[in-house]
Amino acid sequence: MAIKQKSGGEGLEKWASLLKTIGNPTRLAILLILYASGEGSLTFTQLKEIMGLHSDSTLVHHLEILLKAKLIEKIAYKEGEIGRVYPKYQISRLGKELLEHTQLAQALQEYMNRHPK
């Protein structure tokens, strides 16, 4: 299409793909929760509890999609010197940029301010 060529079609396709990825409410919630954690990271269990999910497979599915899109990162975390190594999740630079450029992070904050628990 002429529009894609004039606007740099590759860039448009990338943004459209990212927006499609976060078009799912569960994935958007995961991304926003990780964004709100700042520079921190969360374990699978922490994410599952925060989101109130009952199924591990549901969270695994959505985390895999976000990882594939490079909107989040999985890092190894070891508790103590001889503790078990397990994954933690954090928002990626691309994920932060997406939320900030689309102003979704700001919209979420405004919503939370208007609707406190």
Say how many C-beta atoms besides its own lie within 10 A of residue 97's C-beta: 13
pLDDT at site 9: 60
At residue 117 the predicted structure's pLDDT band, cuts being 50, 70 and 90, is low
SS (H, E, C) 29-87: HHHHHHHHCCCCCEEHHHHHHHHCCCCHHHHHHHHHHHHHCCCEEEEEEECCCCCCEEE
The one-letter amino acid code at 40 reads: G
Q: Could you tell me the pLDDT band of residue 2, with boundaries at 50, 70 and 90?
A: very low
Q: Which residue is it, tokens 């691309």?
A: 94
The ranges assigned to domains in the chain are 13-114
CATH topology of domain 13-114: Arc Repressor Mutant, subunit A (1.10.10)
Instruction: Identify the band that residue 1 occupies on the pLDDT scale cut at 50, 70 and 90.
Output: very low
pLDDT digits (tens, 9 = 90+) for 19-36: 899 999 999 999 999 998
Distance CA 34, CA 42 (A): 7
Give the SS3 label for residue 116: coil
Place of tokens 């919630």: 29
Residue 15 has pLDDT above 50, yes or no: yes
pLDDT at position 103, please?
Answer: 86
List, for residues 44-103, the tens digit of each pLDDT value.
999 999 999 999 999 999 999 999 999 999 998 887 777 788 899 999 999 999 888 888
